[in-house]
Structure 1
Amino acid sequence: MAQIVIIGAGMSGLAAASRLATLGHRVTVCEASGTYGGQVGRYERDGFAFDTGPTLLTLPAVYRDLALKTGREPLEELVGLGPVEPESRHLFPDGTDLVLPNASRGGVGQALDAAFGAGSGERWGEVTNRARAVWEATRRPLLEEPLPEDPEPLFRDPYPAPPRRGLARLSRRTRTLADVAERELGGHPGLTALLQEHALRFGLDPREAPAGATVLPYMEQSFGVWYVQGGMRALADAVHRRCGQRGVEFRFDTPVTEVLTEGGRACGVVAGGERLPADLVLSCTQDLAGLAGHAAAAREPAWGRFSVLLALRGTRPAGTPVRTVVHAHDNARELDALTDHPDLPRHPTVQIHRPDDPSLVPDSGHEAVTLTVTVPTWDELAELAPDFDAYADHLLDHLAGAGLDLRERIAWRELLTPDVLGPHTPPSLAGAGGRFLAPPGRSPLPGLHLIGATVHPGGGLARAGMSASITATGIGPA
């Protein structure tokens, strides 16, 4: 039996704690804030409740495995879980209204043909077929196993080269998502916007992200998108309860200020001014400089996020999808505002989250809605001193122009700025010479393991859960 200290009670910390305690280890979790869940936060006011981080769950198998391995119960006994149907609605600047079914690649193709014209679904389907090859090639090394000691094979993009005929044979190989949109989707504005929306949602620039990033829409369309009743915070609550059942000790409002070492390996932490001995230390913190005398390898800063929480008067309209996307007026201008000329994008891609969940509103005569936009990094925006209140007005006008006018129903709104929400944490992707790989969970300091969204296998709830699983499996039973 090992004494293990985990720094941080985010989702990876909770998942690791429950797994390791089930394996017979003594586990203490030190959390600097007063609660658990990390990015899986919650804002409550006047009977309304909003998720302030992830809103929908993909790859629920990760948390199903956690539930079974730590308690022999199906996940559905711990939380209310169901597939979202339809998966999403998309409103385009030309007036096109596209509704995509959940977990149905055939249904997606039919919907695309109906919205964009015959052949659109076939083109999209050919891309997702090639993305399936990426999934099969990278599922284990980029999701289920530690990052290889020699990651160089993952520097190459496994996205298969599409058949090229005529003069196309002379052009360079498809390398980026933007190449996929131009060459394989024919530059169709609607299909291009769909692909770009997936990239922006993960904080990726489609002009830089490898073609293999097509695995992201493939995963959603193949394995589905799921909603947790009570919001995603209910999932954090369930994993926290499981930790308690397995005897995990939590110390909240207890920041770790130092990782102790002895004989060249981690031997404990200083937390809340107290020395806590440990055989192993797991850290979810992004920066270990000053803790263990070194900093973990880091990825390039990702774009930020801006959200508007809307408390609406009036009943949620019947048949309203949980997720609606209002697409940008101009994809190129949106990317320019995110990169070359940083500013709050005008008429951008907006994610609208409208859950059908009575537990999130004071009564049936109200609705809780969240708008989220990808914006430049906080460091870039802070120099501009942006007026976020005026920008929220702009977003509401933008939605109204797309036929989704919520302005007259607003009882109140709350703004979550990029400095509060933090940056996107993209998943690990193969290709591009390794630029999109998250750092390994191996630490230069023996006895110290790194877990969470900023290390392998990268960001997102599923990958946070897999980070914990990979590390707990490597440590093994007591």
Structure 2
Amino acid sequence: MIGAGMGAMAAAARLAVAGHRVTVYERSSTYGGAVGRFEREGFAFDTGPGLLHLPAVWRDLFVKTGKEPLEQCVGLVQVDPASRHLFADGTEVSLPNASRAGIVSALDSALGAGAGERWGAFLGRARDAWDRSRRPLLEEPLRADWQMLGRDPYPALRQRRLLRARQASTVAEIGAWELAEPRLAALLEGYALSYGLDPRHAPASAALLPYMEQTFGSWYVEGGMRELARAVYERCLARKVEFIFGAEVSRIVEKDGRAAGVELAGGTTAEAGHVVAGAGAAALVGHDLWQDGDVRPQGGAAGAQLPGRFTVLLALRGARPGSAVHRSVVHSPDAGAESADIFGGRTAERPTVTVLRPDDPRTRPDGEHEAVTLSATVTASGGQVDWTDAEPREPYAEVLIDAARAALPDIRERLLWHEIRTPAQTGPLPAPALAGQGGRYLHPANMTRLPGLYLVGGRSHPGGGPAHAGMSGALVAGLIVEGADFRGSQ
């Protein structure tokens, strides 16, 4: 197995339980992939995702691979309210966790009568899209006739536009035509942007993203998301998976027309009956992995055109107030301009900023300090912005800190120090797979054209994010154990 990301470890644990001998080669010094951690002076921060959605994916992994359930290995806490949203006009709303009625009521109270009803009706249509696409999009291997997912499952309302009936086909059009309220539109577009999607072009089926969060809830892993990675790693070790760190794979070895092992950078070769690649498989084979009719990687083989996440880790003096909300989202005053900048290769002047303030003693040195994380979706490194250069990094950290004052007014007075993480360090932000638009938002299948080679993780089916990575691990394990006839998880 190439790489020790979350998807790869999910596959490794399942394969080991099924009787396979599994060796994981990871070029870095640790496991977890994008689920990283930074520690300094008693402060601890997640450098990747900060919250867990669809925890059932990881509960299933722990049930299928051992006696100890997930909650016995990590502490899981529902975040309530799930999020607090602050808009440019000064209004704000706190949305309860996994309560549609509560969300409708909160939106009506904060944004005016009718706002909650419109959002609730939108969630109803999003539920229909979920029911129509959930299994082929998330729980089954990507089928050879993947074109069936090219049709958008979101039941958009028919509207009279420019003297003819039209239906919303993008996130931005849902916001403008169906929600018809600027702050509701900003709420929806903020969800899409946080997953690395351009609201102006992302299919209407992206309605699944707020639906999943608001239906199944947002969870915090005590100690941070890195604790989930630790628990999965330890489960792999308990199932006798071998990890070799500092081992860079330079080539996938082929024999008799199939993948037969890997060659390491030092020239050592390891034979294998199956090879599972967490990332970069295309660069490790001597020919094209994809043929006409296949779903190819988004943004090219290296994902160079995908946006990333700019993160500022803040060490603050002073205790975290009891009234503080775990997640606040400070919305950009111009979501359209923000998207145009991000996906046009520029830095947005007024970005949407997420503020995470976990109430967790394990993230701070004592009760008189607080660890806070700020993040925004930004353009990829390269082109007009070089995130390896200090010139754009420090000024943009100040932009995020300034925006965060809406949620944390005394942030500058309390600031001890900050650390920055950019896409140059954390890589691109692959979005979850979405149906619609002819399959443009799908990811390559887990089983490749090269027999014996499988793809796992955020850049393969069913896409990015911790939950989807876990799903990809289950799919790869199923394909190897049961063969090409595997029809998905039950």
Q: Is TM (by shorter chain) over 0.5?
A: yes
Q: Indicate the RMSD between aligned Cα atoms, in angstroms.
A: 1.7
1:194 to 183, 187, 193: 187
State how far apart, in whole Å, the 1-side matches of 2:461 and 2:365 are: 40
Query: What's 1:178 paired with?
Result: 172
State how far apart, in whole Å, the 2-side matches of 1:435 and 1:320 are: 40
CA offsets per residue over residues 36-58 of structure 1, 9 Å max, x none?
Answer: 00000001111111000011000
Q: CA deviation at 1:73?
A: 2.5
State how far apart, in whole Å, the 1-side matches of 2:178 and 2:459 are: 32
State how far apart, in whole Å, the 1-side matches of 2:411 and 2:147 are: 49
Matched, 1:148 2:143: yes
2:200 to 207, 211, 219: 207
Q: Does structure 1 conserve the Cα–Cα contact (< 8 Å) formed by 2:355 and 2:407?
A: no
Comparing 151-160 with 295-304, greater Cα deviation is found at: 295-304
Matched, 1:77 2:72: yes
Q: CA deviation at 1:135?
A: 0.6
Query: What's 2:302 paired with?
Result: none
Equivalent position amino acid for 2:132 in 1: A
Comparing 387-396 with 315-324, greater Cα deviation is found at: 387-396
Equivalent position amino acid for 2:226 in 1: R
Matched, 1:460 2:460: no
CA offsets per residue over residues 421-475 of structure 1, 9 Å max, x none?
Answer: 2111100000011111111112121011111100100000001000010111122
For the residue of structure 1 that corresponds to 2:382, the secondary structure is helix
State how far apart, in whole Å, the 1-side matches of 2:409 and 2:85 are: 11
Q: Does structure 2 conserve the Cα–Cα contact (< 8 Å) formed by 1:289 and 1:295?
A: no
For the residue of structure 2 that corresponds to 1:259, the secondary structure is strand
Q: Does structure 1 conserve the Cα–Cα contact (< 8 Å) formed by 2:97 and 2:217?
A: yes
| 1:205-354 alignment, distance < 5 Å | 205-271=198-264, 272-294=266-288, 297-300=296-299, 301-340=305-344, 342-354=345-357
Equivalent position amino acid for 1:325 in 2: V
Matched, 1:410 2:415: yes
Query: What's 2:433 paired with?
Result: 428
CA offsets per residue over residues 282-329 of structure 1, 9 Å max, x none?
Answer: 000134224454356311222121110001111011121111001112
1:119 to 114, 128, 138: 114
For the residue of structure 2 that corresponds to 1:7, the secondary structure is coil
For the residue of structure 2 that corresponds to 1:171, the secondary structure is strand
Q: TM-score when scaled to structure 1?
A: 0.95
Comparing 267-276 with 195-204, greater Cα deviation is found at: 267-276
For the residue of structure 2 that corresponds to 1:282, the secondary structure is strand
Matched, 1:90 2:85: yes
Q: CA deviation at 1:216?
A: 0.5
Query: What's 2:379 paired with?
Result: 376
State how far apart, in whole Å, the 2-side matches of 1:82 and 1:402 are: 22
Equivalent position amino acid for 1:171 in 2: A
Comparing 393-402 with 370-379, greater Cα deviation is found at: 393-402
Give the percent of matched residue pairs that are identical in Structure 1 and Structure 2: 51
State how far apart, in whole Å, the 1-side matches of 2:161 and 2:456 are: 47
State how far apart, in whole Å, the 2-side matches of 1:142 and 1:303 are: 22
Q: Does structure 2 conserve the Cα–Cα contact (< 8 Å) formed by 1:396 and 1:405?
A: no
Matched, 1:100 2:104: no
Judged with a 3 Å threshold, the aligned counterparts in structure 2 of structure 1 residues 59 and 403 are, in CA distance, closer, same or farther, namely closer
For the residue of structure 1 that corresponds to 2:332, the secondary structure is coil
Q: Does structure 1 conserve the Cα–Cα contact (< 8 Å) formed by 2:289 and 2:450?
A: no
State how far apart, in whole Å, the 1-side matches of 2:409 and 2:289 are: 46
Matched, 1:361 2:394: no
State how far apart, in whole Å, the 2-side matches of 1:399 and 1:12 are: 32
2:12 to 17, 31, 47: 17
Q: CA deviation at 1:168?
A: 8.3
State how far apart, in whole Å, the 1-side matches of 2:406 and 2:55 are: 35
Q: Does structure 1 conserve the Cα–Cα contact (< 8 Å) formed by 2:374 and 2:404?
A: no
1:41 to 17, 36, 39: 36
CA offsets per residue over residues 186-230 of structure 1, 9 Å max, x none?
Answer: 1x1110110111011001011101111101000111100101001
State how far apart, in whole Å, the 2-side matches of 1:358 and 1:82 are: 14
Matched, 1:389 2:394: yes
Which structure 1 segments of 5+ residues have no match? 1-5
Comparing 294-303 with 150-159, greater Cα deviation is found at: 294-303
State how far apart, in whole Å, the 1-side matches of 2:434 and 2:59 are: 24
Q: CA deviation at 1:365?
A: 0.8
CA offsets per residue over residues 73-111 of structure 1, 9 Å max, x none?
Answer: 321001001211110111111111210000001110001
Q: CA deviation at 1:380?
A: 2.6
Q: Does structure 2 conserve the Cα–Cα contact (< 8 Å) formed by 1:95 and 1:402?
A: no
State how far apart, in whole Å, the 1-side matches of 2:21 and 2:479 are: 16
State how far apart, in whole Å, the 2-side matches of 1:390 and 1:286 are: 32
Matched, 1:474 2:479: yes
Equivalent position amino acid for 2:157 in 1: P
Equivalent position amino acid for 2:126 in 1: A
CA offsets per residue over residues 154-207 of structure 1, 9 Å max, x none?
Answer: 00101113254x678823221111111111011x11101101110110010111
Query: What's 1:438 paired with?
Result: 443
State how far apart, in whole Å, the 2-side matches of 1:168 and 1:87 are: 38
Q: TM-score when scaled to structure 2?
A: 0.93
State how far apart, in whole Å, the 2-side matches of 1:10 and 1:453 are: 9
Q: CA deviation at 1:273?
A: 2.7
Q: CA deviation at 1:399?
A: 2.5
